[in-house]
Amino acid sequence: MHTAHTPEGFHPLDPGRVNTMDPVELRYWSQELSCSEDELRELVARVGDHVAEVRAALEQRLPRH
């Protein structure tokens, strides 16, 4: 399966929020946060679109290495 990448040099319009409606931004944040796009959508629906909240929810779900 081929995973699409965000365009080089892409930065979200609002770096503090995850915009799940923009496919490029969704891809960017899923790569940035090391999670799937589906997991990211689920987290945003649960905790909101603030990157800090999404990151905190991910850290609670993922085992530390």
pLDDT of residue 16: 95
> Taking a C-beta distance cutoff of 8 angstroms, is the pair 47, 53 a contact?
yes
pLDDT of residue 39: 95
Residue with tokens 């790569």: 31
- pLDDT band of residue 21 (cuts 50, 70, 90) is very high
- pLDDT band of residue 54 (cuts 50, 70, 90) is very high
Q: What are the domain boundaries of the chain?
A: 23-61
In this predicted structure, the answer to whether residue 49 has a pLDDT above a threshold of 90 is: yes
| pTM exceeds 0.95, yes or no | no
